[in-house]
């Protein structure tokens, strides 16, 4: 992953399944494969998210090994050194500012699961956690629908807004999601599950 502005690599990840079981880790240092840590949090603890030093300590106590991120990939190190000269952030999504992965999968029985993992925006302020590891923002799964929007924070925050609209309107998350989507052309609501419009 790409480092923060102080040269440290921190990792975030979340996982969720069709039964709404979920686990998340954020601001994790020196542990490879944060998605494995998120899965272990889901399977072994009553918690949803662990962060920072506490997440690292828990991971080490539960069989994960410390990784050496102090020896950077030469290309990443060169990019970081070049960034230090101007210290300018690039806005928007581009290949230089993130390495986020989000995915959804169905098993042979049609059960959905999803995961999202990232080192976050390159050269971010130390301590920043994006939306990717936040259940309901970077990832949401239930028995019928799922979505992952890694690397596009505006859309991720939109998932939360849709969830809240559903909750305050007395709708399920699914109905709140549908209520919040509208056709740009006709200002009609869109049924995301069946991709039809209705007035």
In a domain, 3, yes or no: no
pLDDT for 93 equals 47
Radius of gyration of the chain (CA): 18
* Tokens 């039964």, located at residue: 19
Contact 133/26 with Cβ under 8 angstroms?
A: yes
Q: How far apart are the first and last CA of the chain?
A: 45
pLDDT for 188 equals 47
In a domain, 159, yes or no: yes
In a domain, 169, yes or no: yes
In a domain, 5, yes or no: no
pTM of the model: 0.75
Question: What distance in Å separates the CA atoms of residue 136 and residue 115, rounded to the nearest whole number?
Answer: 12
Rounded mean pLDDT, 25-53: 96
Q: In which band, very low, low, confident or very high, does the pLDDT at 171 lie, cut at 50, 70 and 90?
A: low
In a domain, 192, yes or no: yes
Question: Which phi and psi (to 5°) does residue 154 adopt?
Answer: -60, -40
Catalytic residue among 10, 100, 117, 118: 100
pLDDT for 43 equals 97
In a domain, 2, yes or no: no
Split into its structural domains, the chain has a count of 1
pLDDT for 27 equals 96
DSSP conformation class of 168: H
Contact 116/132 with Cβ under 8 angstroms?
A: yes
Q: In which band, very low, low, confident or very high, does the pLDDT at 100 lie, cut at 50, 70 and 90?
A: confident
192: buried, middle or exposed (CB in 10 Å: 19+, 13-18, 0-12)? Answer: middle
DSSP conformation class of 164: H
Has 149 been annotated as catalytic?
no
| Structural domain boundaries, residue 167 | 10-198
In a domain, 129, yes or no: yes
Question: What distance in Å separates the CA atoms of residue 131 and residue 151, rounded to the nearest whole number?
Answer: 9
In a domain, 125, yes or no: yes
What Å distances lie between residue 100 and 24, 44, 61, 151, 153, CA to CA?
Answer: 15, 25, 27, 6, 11
Residues 19-32: pLDDT tens digits? 989 999 999 999 99
């Amino acid at each position: 992953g790409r480092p923060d502005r102080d040269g440290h690599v921190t990792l975030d990840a979340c996982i969720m399944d069709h039964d709404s079981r979920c686990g998340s880790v954020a601001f994790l240092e020196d542990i490879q494969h944060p998605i494995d840590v998120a899965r272990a949090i889901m399977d072994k603890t009553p918690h949803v998210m662990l962060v920072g030093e506490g997440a690292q300590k828990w991971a080490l106590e539960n069989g994960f090994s410390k990784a050496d991120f102090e020896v950077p990939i030469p290309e990443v190190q060169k990019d970081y050194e070049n960034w230090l000269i101007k210290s300018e952030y690039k806005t928007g999504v581009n290949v230089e500012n993130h390495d986020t992965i989000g995915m959804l999968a169905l098993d042979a029985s049609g059960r959905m699961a999803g995961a999202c993992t990232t080192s976050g925006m390159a050269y971010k302020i130390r301590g920043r956690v994006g939306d990717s590891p936040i259940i309901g923002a970077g990832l949401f799964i239930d028995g019928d629908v799922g979505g992952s929007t890694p690397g596009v924070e505006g859309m991720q925050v939109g998932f939360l807004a849709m969830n809240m609209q559903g909750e305050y309107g007395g709708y399920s998350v699914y109905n709140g999601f549908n209520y919040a989507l509208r056709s740009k052309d006709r200002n009609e609501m869109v049924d995301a599950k069946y991709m039809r419009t209705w007035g």
